[in-house]
Amino acid sequence: MSRPEATIVARDVLEALVGRGQTLATAESLTGGGIGRLLTSVPGASRAYRGGLITYATDLKATLAGVDPGALAAHGPVAAETAVQMAVGAARRCEADWGLAVTGVAGPEPQDGHPVGQVFVGIAQPAAGPLEVHELALDGDREDIRAATTVAALALLLDLLGRR
Amino acid sequence: MSRPEATIVARDVLEALVGRGQTLATAESLTGGGIGRLLTSVPGASRAYRGGLITYATDLKATLAGVDPGALAAHGPVAAETAVQMAVGAARRCEADWGLAVTGVAGPEPQDGHPVGQVFVGIAQPAAGPLEVHELALDGDREDIRAATTVAALALLLDLLGRR
């Protein structure tokens, strides 16, 4: 997806949230802040985007994002359960209605038995209950996978906002 | 500065940190995660970059990054003291040796009496004492200012690492 299309998805997510009077926080591993950067490229992003956590080191997924240490040890950093708990933690730590989280393998090397391009996207609205997790299998080099993860995560959240 | 040059600064910062056996965390406001994203574009970034905080909403600078609420109320989000305390908080929250923080006005509108392009960069090594803050006056549109802030912050850290 080209840069202008990525910006449109970010703008649409922010508009959907503003229309609902709700806010968003992020927790990012492989994208390293790219989702927050894209959201804040939109002027007025502060009306709906509160901020986020960049949990690049595995232990920060527990100590910063609040993933249960036992679950993190059992499932590892690249896992559906970890993505969901990161999303919940982002919303709670940043006092937002929604949490959006991504964890996965950008490459160039596989990680702990997970192939390059395997990505989990977690979406949570802790106070209201909704939890979703999506597994992606992305192609391309490190930057392709990071860019595709950024757009896919926002598109999945936009889809969920349209359904609820 | 072009994209390849930005990547070189990020790589040089990571190599300097690895050479010293030290780690880095970030706290970002106007860049919204762009510094973390640039650092993690480098394969192997996890050897020195631990993660960071995206404190886009003003209150997160206190509740997430640990800026003293009284100081935040007195100086506001766009201030030298706030940038330094964000850097200290990033290092502490993410258990890193160094903290690098940016806060400022990306535009398109001035903010609380601060002109578009006014940016403060804070650098801290809490356990060892060094604290630096730099004020920048940047030109261009929102994306120009965010990109220039990202590169300038890393270049200032690289310069400090070369001096100590």
**Alpha helix (H) residue ranges in A21-164:** 34-39, 58-63, 69-75, 80-93, 142-163
Retrieve residue A126's tokens: 């802790």
- The per-residue pLDDT for range A20-43, each reduced to its tens digit, is 999 999 999 999 999 999 999 999
How many CB atoms sit inside 10 A of residue A113's CB?
9
Res. B144: pLDDT tops 90: yes
pLDDT of residue A2: 57
Distance between A33 CA and the closest CA of chain B, angstroms: 4
- The per-residue pLDDT for range B63-73, each reduced to its tens digit, is 999 999 999 99
pLDDT of residue A163: 80
pLDDT of residue A83: 98
Q: What is the DSSP letter of B29?
A: S
Look at A34 and B33 and tell me if their CB atoms are within 8 Å.
Answer: yes
- The per-residue pLDDT for range B93-110, each reduced to its tens digit, is 999 999 999 999 999 999
- Mean pLDDT for A44-57 is 98
- Mean pLDDT for B130-146 is 96
pLDDT of residue A161: 95
pLDDT of residue A3: 67
Q: Which residues of A touch B (CB under 8 A)?
A: 26, 28, 30-37, 39-41, 43, 45-46, 49-57, 59-60, 63-64, 93-95, 106-109, 142-143, 146
Res. A1: pLDDT tops 80: no
The minimal CB distance from A34 to the residues B37, B56, B106 is found for B37
Q: Please name the residue that has the structure tokens 């706290």.
A: B27
Q: Which residues of B touch A (CB under 8 A)?
A: 26, 28, 30-37, 39-41, 43, 45-46, 49-57, 59-60, 63-64, 93-95, 106-109, 142-143, 146
Specify the 3-state DSSP secondary structure of B115.
coil
Distance between B61 CA and the closest CA of chain A, angstroms: 10
Residue of A nearest to B31 (CA): A37
Strands laid side by side in the B131-137 sheet? A131-137, A118-124, A98-104, A24-28, A49-55, B49-55, B24-28, B98-104, B118-124, B131-137
Sorted by sequence, the CB contacts under 8 Å of residue A38 that are 6+ apart come out as A6, A7, A10, A150, A154
ipTM here: 0.97
- Calculate what percentage of chain B has a pLDDT beyond 90: 93
* Alpha-carbon distances of B91 from A50, B22, B97, rounded to whole Å: 20, 11, 6
* B26 contacts in chain A (CB < 8 Å): 33, 54
Residue of B nearest to A46 (CA): B57
Domains of chain A: 3-163 (3.90.950.20)
Say if pTM beats, i.e. exceeds, 0.80: yes
Residue of B nearest to A40 (CA): B32
pLDDT of residue B3: 67
- The per-residue pLDDT for range A114-160, each reduced to its tens digit, is 999 999 999 999 999 879 999 999 999 999 999 999 999 999 999 99
> Helices then strands (H, E): number in chain A?
6, 5
Look at B107 and A43 and tell me if their CB atoms are within 8 Å.
Answer: yes
The minimal CB distance from B57 to the residues A41, A43, A46 is found for A46
Look at A45 and B39 and tell me if their CB atoms are within 8 Å.
Answer: no
- Mean pLDDT for B47-61 is 98
